[in-house]
Structure 1
Amino acid sequence: MFPRGLSVLLAFALGAPAAATPFGFETRVTCEAEAGVVGFAGDTALLYLRGSRFDLMRLPSASGEKYATETGDTVFWLQGEEALLQVAGTGNQSCALTLPDTPWRAQGNEPGWILTVEEGRLSAQLDYGETEFEADLTAPVREGESLVHTLPDHDLTLSLSREICYDGMSGQAYPEKVTLRLGERELSGCGGRTLDLLAGANWQVETIDGAVPVEGRMPELSISDDLRVAGTSGCNRFSGGLEITGEGIAFGPMAATRMMCPADLMAQETALLDALSSTSRFEIAEDGALVLHGPEGPVLTARR
């Protein structure tokens, strides 16, 4: 028996009906040299890898689901919970496809609303909870870079796009912009998991409190799907935990190895750990850089 997420992916890759299509951009793609997400709509797919978007069309295939760009220089071939990726100028990469264990969630403000999606079923709380309903999702269609679901019985259209979104009240970052159209009303909000913006490939630290790291001893850190943090200061390795709330993030105490290094590297390590401990929120800059903020402003920038 496959886990819920893999069951959906297997059914989809084997040509199951539209109801089996994984929702939104929930399908994570982890390849040998790339990581990102993919969303499906009809015979098209939107693949996002390290800041680049690939518009794909489904091609005839004897097995699985095969997609390619119009020029054919990028190919994405699903086989159950795995895929083969070929990006222009690179060789073939094996990829793993996974779905999160938690329902997709989106929310917005003024008036407050919350949506959750689990196994193809949408639950809605609108107008600060005064209106509630559940409904089976229709198959999505593509509108530009958005995936759109229409629920005519509730006069509702749900549109989501893979863009950084900041909650209007808390400032928390999310990976998707969400638009609800309810009759003549249009409501905006954010969706997806904040963790998806942070987890995955390593972050190479570029500045700590505005200072550039010691040449040749670049610190780095990584964040896993189970909220574990690991990295190197340029001297010692460290590890700890991360907490994500509706308002921001907080790094827990970091345990580090105890190797002695030159004074400049020890000072860099102290500054790095202090920066992490003071972090209360983050943002993803337009150029893809991770910016950690403390009470008085940016304390660290990093890039993949």
Structure 2
Amino acid sequence: MALSIKPWIKWSLLLPLFFTAAAFSGEDKNRQTHDKNRHTYVFECEDGESFVADIQGTRAWVFLTQGTVELKQQPDGTFAGDPYRLQLQGSAAQWVNQHQQSISCRNNRQQAIWEAAKLAGVDYRAVGNEPGWVVEIAADQVRYQGDYGQTLWVFDTPPPQIEQTLRQTVYLLANEQQQVTFTIQAKPCMDSMSGVRYETTAIVQLPGKTLKGCGRALH
């Protein structure tokens, strides 16, 4: 897929490089990381093809192995751009590829959540369970969602504290009301519910409790 990949992201070998102040590009400033008018899908199709579709209003960007395709919404609600056509049907879609073949596809919701964060400019994302929580790190902002989405805290992204001996990076997050310590450790992690494996272990230290989960770089 033709998504921009930052060459300094090499988690297994170069973890500290990700967390230097220069690691985040200035062009990401003032980014809207959660646009309600934007919908991202990861379609897995019956012919074995899979692709990301990013819908923004009347435009759709489809990320294929051969490149990115921009489609425009048609009067019948489909998105088209010769020779491609995408018709959304809830969590499914009908996709007409470059060979004019009509193929049935279904959205992988879990993968779509990660791709949506990536396209919105999130550089690192971590998740945990019981209670469910998410941390997203972007150039200008860190978002913590806790208690299965009932809690939302937003912080300015602070300079990372890199502890190379321990192979971990620490973010001291603070706003007018909350203080949180977020630690990323360079050791593999497996989600306790899904069984998905991640490159890094994530720890959230809240007032009175500590949460552990898994995460990975998105760029």
With the length of structure 1 as denominator, give the TM-score of the two structures: 0.33
With the length of structure 2 as denominator, give the TM-score of the two structures: 0.45
